[in-house]
Amino acid sequence: MDVESLPKEALEKLAPLLIPTLTKYIRHTPEPKQQAFLLLDQLDALYGGAAGGMKSDTLLMAALQYVDIPGYNSLLIRDTYANLNKPEGLLDRAHSWLKNTDAHWNGDGKRYVFPSGATLSFGYLDGPLDHFNFQGAEYQYVGIDEVVNIRENQALYLFSRLRIKTPESYRDELRELRAELTENQIQKFYKSYKDIPLRFRCASNPPTAEQLVKGSWVKPRYIDKETRQGIFIPASLFDNPHIDHEKYIEALNKLDPITRAQLLEGDWLIQVKGRMFDRSWFQIVDQVPNNVGVRKLRFYDPAHTEPHKKNKDPDWFAGAKCSYSDTGLFYVEHMSRWRKSPLDSKMTVKNQAKFDGRGVEIEMEREPSAGTTLIDDYTRLLAGYTFRGVRPEGSKRERAMGLASYAQAGNVYLVNGPWIKDFLDECDTFPDGNHDDQVDVVSGAFNSLAGGAGVNIRWA
């Protein structure tokens, strides 16, 4: 039986149970997923899992639910003060909600004090001993935003700060410290105080590879059915009516597939280490179609050394010949790589240029260690060809994001050749494998020919 079929009398009794406790300080009506989170009285819960799901908004709402009751204290936490204070972050949002209210901001203590005497405090857990800054404090609510940035022992230590007075002690304290209260008011606060649940609340996106160092404990505690100890309420962009879904999805589509799945879909199961590419995304063809206009480029990464006793598996000098068609498809036509002396490498590049022809542009990554000397040498060597030195921007992983998204969309083709297996093997382990030279040169060619992360993704 669904809710709509219930008798009117039953609905009237049920309705109050579906409305969370709210105060005047909560600036807007909670959305359905937020309401579900605010109604929880269990000790431990996680909210979110995807970008745009109103995580910070929800944690602040929960913190403000009982600030009209004397004796209530809440705490909101981030990993660093900079993240706590960033635009639209917890502190900035709290200031926006409370600046024109009767709540008083105490800058030294980084907390709001409400007319009831209740408090909302802010803190961060940056250093490995920062959790001891809260030693001796007593809260009924602790909320941690982006909890995957927090060490497990520090997050769990805050459970020891969750305490509440016995009802009798609370009532006696009200009578002793608040002589201005009438007996009816004391009884009202007493009844409300008994209903305050102790709550440990978190919010987060799935962890990136960098965040796994601190945040690997979150998934087993909240997501995995076999081990989870807390409640998980998933929320995403589609639960947030206050954001332009189409434009935000367009922005997320520029990310690599792993990060996009985490932020758009809240995917906690997708691997964040390696597997930025899937070899099934690349389609193999015999040749680039003759009936389309194409721009061709061979991109080189000259970072290499010859094998020696101390390094038997050094980097490669790699070069990828790629094409971008006027139909918006990207082709990897050929890959070459070697470990030779500088002189032999120059002769190999020159001979390859002669073989490719003057219609194929040439670009070479400008290595910081080599300065302009190497590029100047190749500029003279390749006189008569279209040659440019390119200074890389961002990490190799960041430079490969556009290519990965384009490949997942079905727009990247490999022209059949003996080089394909080695290239796909490298894609399988990128960016954590032993080598990344081939992915790096194909990414470089893609970013030059197709516009990199700014290209319009055409999903098959």
Q: What angle do CA 152, 158, 162 make, to 5 degrees?
A: 145
What is the extent of the structural domain holding 379? 279-454
**What is the C-alpha to C-alpha distance for residues 318 and 303, in angstroms, rounded to an integer?**
8
* 65 and 152 inside one domain: yes
**In a 10 Å sphere around its CB, with 0-12 CB exposed, 13-18 middle and 19+ buried, how is residue 363 labelled?**
buried
Asked whether the beta carbons of 339 and 316 are under 8 A apart, the reply is yes
Domain end position, chosen among 265, 287, 314:
265
Residue 53 lies in a domain: yes
Residue 157 lies in a domain: yes
Between the CA of residue 265 and those of 38, 50, 337, what are the distances in Å? 22, 6, 38
Q: For the range 210-213, what are the long-range contacts, defined as Cβ-Cβ under 8 Å and sequence gap of 24 or more?
A: 211/148, 211/149, 212/272, 212/273
* 339 and 243 inside one domain: no
> What is the per-residue pLDDT across 181-208, written as a single tens digit (0 to 9) for each?
788 888 888 778 888 999 999 999 888 7
* 286 and 231 inside one domain: no
Residue 270 lies in a domain: no
* 303 and 222 inside one domain: no
* 434 and 301 inside one domain: yes
Positions of E strands within 210-367:
231-235, 283-285, 294-301, 317-325, 330-338, 360-365
Residue 52 lies in a domain: yes
Phi, psi (degrees; rounded to nearest 5) at 164: -145, 145
Residue 192 lies in a domain: no
Number of domains in the chain: 2
Q: What angle do CA 128, 132, 135 make, to 5 degrees?
A: 165
* 322 and 238 inside one domain: no
Domain end position, chosen among 241, 265, 289:
265
Residue 336 lies in a domain: yes
* 372 and 257 inside one domain: no
Tokens (6 digits) for 5: 């079929």
- The residue count for the chain: 460
**What is the C-alpha to C-alpha distance for residues 315 and 437, in angstroms, rounded to an integer?**
7
CATH of the domain at 409: 3.30.420.240
* 229 and 125 inside one domain: yes
Q: Give the 3-state secondary structure of residue 129.
A: coil
| Peptide bond before residue 87 is cis, with ω within 30 degrees of 0 | no
* 421 and 331 inside one domain: yes
Residue 187 lies in a domain: no
* 227 and 330 inside one domain: no
Tokens (6 digits) for 440: 């790096």
> What is the per-residue pLDDT across 382-397, written as a single tens digit (0 to 9) for each?
999 999 998 888 888 8
* 324 and 409 inside one domain: yes
Handedness of CA 171, 172, 177, 179 (dihedral sign): positive
One digit per residue, pLDDT tens: the chain, 460 residues?
344 455 656 545 555 567 888 999 999 999 989 999 999 989 999 998 888 889 999 999 999 999 999 889 999 999 999 999 998 889 999 999 999 999 999 999 999 999 999 999 999 999 999 999 999 999 999 999 999 999 999 999 999 999 988 877 888 878 776 777 788 888 888 778 888 999 999 999 888 766 777 888 999 999 988 999 999 999 888 888 888 888 888 888 777 777 777 888 888 876 554 568 888 899 999 999 887 778 999 999 987 665 555 555 677 899 999 999 988 999 999 999 988 888 999 999 999 999 999 999 999 988 765 557 888 999 999 999 999 998 888 888 888 888 998 998 899 999 999 999 989 988 887 876 678 899 999 999 999 998 754 444 333 3
Residue 448 lies in a domain: yes
Tokens (6 digits) for 379: 């500029």
Asked whether the beta carbons of 389 and 438 are under 8 A apart, the reply is no
